[in-house]
Amino acid sequence: MSTDSISIQIRVESVHNVVCPLTKKTVQSLMDGHLFHQLPRPYIVALVVKNDGASIIVDGVALQAFEKTYEKVHYFIVRDKKIGFVHFNSFGKESSLFEQAIVLAGSCEKSPNVTAARKFLLFNKCVSTSWALDICEQMLVDDPNDAFALSELGNISRINGDLENAEKFLMRALEIDRSCTFSWTSLACLCQHKGLQAEAYALFSKALGKQPEDIEIQRLFEDFLQQDTALVRLRANLGYCMDLVSIHTVLGEIYKQMDQNKKAIQHFQAAQRLAPENGCVLALLGNSLRKEMINEDVTEKSLDQVQKYFEAAITCGYDNSFVRSRLADVYRMQKKHDEAYFQCKLALELNPSNAFTHMQLGTFAMDAMQFDLAEIHFKNLIALKPSWTVSYEMLGTLRNHEKVGSEEAQSLYEKAIALDPNNKNAVKKLQKVIQERSEENAIEQFLI
């Protein structure tokens, strides 16, 4: 059921002579049993009295049209079968609805309270945006430090595309009252609008931490999560979390797993700005930048930057096989072969099962014509990572070094391509070894 513009007319045939003003009990008896109590949030309701009966209308937009036709219109608030009176019989000017006190049974103060009535109407979206703006401005005239009114102004500004003022209003609201869940939720929606995923996630988490049973906040949070699969996976990993460093870091890891490396870099960079001495974040950022260089032109400046991230991670105490092996790869690209080899040896000492290091050391051994040592490392690589296409490609390259046109090399390249048909290096090597074998066979036939 749409909750933005509902216009419902229910004929109450048993009512012919209604005496004004109606009592709360009369209205209750008319509405009880009808579908108003099933609405997901409170509504302004009007009972339009006519000679031949009565109609019930929901929503302020519909009420304006009916008011022009019928003079006897009575306004009420309906919530969970409870009725609250609006103490006047004409809509009149827009402001008149809010100048009258409303008694909201079970939801506001027991005595009539104009401020409570205004907040109720705003929070439950019973009025249009332009009316809401007028209400907020009047509330701030009465009390310049009304956090609720400032938050609603922030929402209205966001809807109107004025994001700068939206942020100012919401930050001011939170300066006044940091316990206002509505303000935290509104700021979360603003961050969502600006594409600030981590910040929106943290703010929704904070709001839900304060009011975990709030259905509206839950709905807004769910809508936010459905924008990106990564956010759904983030919740599965973190649950409600307000630590931006953790959110950015986990989001970066998720995007990396989804092969969206540029997004991963953005989140790792954000985490690094927040925690410049977090060794884990420095290493993850360095590694994502290293991987990005594989697909782009490598410059001396970019290599130096990645090197600094890995070295800073080690300095900050994040010293492990992963960091050492990736630092070795950067040294290799910088043609600092001695430094690269030294880092590989350290990486293997820290973790003998580091498959990436076995691939690196195997390559070093093959380049040095130490084929027996290279074979040990490449076979270890296959044992550790049998699903890696590069595992079979590297051993195939070794076999082709040992014997040009090797039948075993061809078989290994075919295995590599079977695992990843997009492995262009393996495809080229396979084509080359097939050609070499063909040429070798042709020569043998000629000699015969």
- Please report, for the domain that includes residue 224, its CATH number: 1.25.40.10
180, 148 contact by CB (below 8 A): yes
Question: Residue 208 is part of which domain span?
Answer: 143-241
CB 322 within 8 A of CB 299: no
For residue 63, what pLDDT is reported?
A: 39
**Per-residue CA distances from 330 to 108, 306, 334, 339 (Å):** 65, 7, 6, 10
Stretch among 220-229, 294-303, 427-436 having the lowest mean pLDDT: 294-303
- Cross-sheet strand order for the sheet of 43-50: 53-58, 43-50, 73-79, 82-85
- 88 and 43 both lie in a single domain: yes
Average pLDDT value for residue range 64-87: 42
Task: Give pLDDT, residue 383.
Answer: 96
| Domain match, 11 and 90 both | yes
> What's the chain's average pLDDT?
76
- Cα separation, 423 vs 3, whole angstroms: 53
pLDDT in tens, 199-223: 999 999 999 998 888 888 898 999 9
**Per-residue confidence at 323, pLDDT binned at 50, 70, 90?**
very high
What confidence score (pLDDT) does residue 128 get?
62
- 316 belongs to a structural domain: no
pLDDT at 389 over 80: yes
Q: Are 108 and 147 within one domain?
A: no
Please indicate, yes or no, whether residues 99 and 171 belong to a single structural domain of this protein.
no
In a domain, 60, yes or no: yes
Q: What percent of the chain has pLDDT over 90?
A: 52
Q: Does residue 44 carry a pLDDT above 60?
A: no
Top pLDDT among 403 and 88 is at: 403
Q: What is the pLDDT of residue 214?
A: 84
Q: What is the pLDDT of residue 20?
A: 31
Please report whether residue 309 resides in a domain.
no
CA distance linking residue 257 with residue 241, whole number of Å: 21
Query: By percentage, how much of the chain surpasses pLDDT 70?
Result: 68
3-state SS assignment for residue 193: helix
Contact between 88 and 69 (Cβ < 8 Å): no
Domains held by the chain: number: 3
Q: State residue 406's pLDDT score.
A: 82
The length of the chain is 448
Mark whether 156 and 219 lie in a shared domain: yes
Residue 424 predicted with pLDDT over 50: yes
Contacts of residue 273, defined as CB under 8 A and 6 or more positions apart, other chains included, come to none
Q: pLDDT tens digit string along 104-163?
A: 322 333 333 455 555 655 655 545 677 677 778 878 888 899 898 899 899 889 988 999
Q: How confident is the model at residue 85 (pLDDT cuts 50, 70, 90)?
A: very low
Rounded to 5°, the CA angle 290-294-295 comes to 125
Q: How far apart are the first and last CA of the chain?
A: 86
pLDDT at position 394: 95
Query: Which amino acid is located at 220 in the chain?
Result: L
Question: Is residue 14 included in any domain, yes or no?
Answer: yes
Report the pLDDT value the prediction gives residue 216, as an integer from 0 to 100: 83
The residues pairing with 84 across neighbouring beta strands, listed in sequence order, are 77
Question: Do both 100 and 12 map to the same domain?
Answer: yes
pLDDT at 131: 66
In a domain, 10, yes or no: yes
Residue 370 domain flag:
no
Secondary structure (3-state) at 85 = strand
CB atoms within 10 A of CB 145: 12
Asked if residue 69 has pLDDT above 50, the reply is no
Higher-confidence residue: 380 or 54?
A: 380
- If you average pLDDT over residues 309-321, what whole number do you get? 96
Calpha distance 107→120 (Å, rounded): 9
Between these two residues, 392 and 26, which has the higher pLDDT value?
392
- What's this model's pTM, rounded to 2 decimal places? 0.70
CB 282 within 8 A of CB 319: no
Is pLDDT larger for residue 142 or for residue 317? Answer: 317
Q: Is position 352 within any domain?
A: no
Q: Is residue 160 part of a domain?
A: yes
Q: Which of 57, 51, 52, 49 is nearest to 26 (CA)?
A: 49
Q: What pLDDT shows up at residue 139?
A: 81
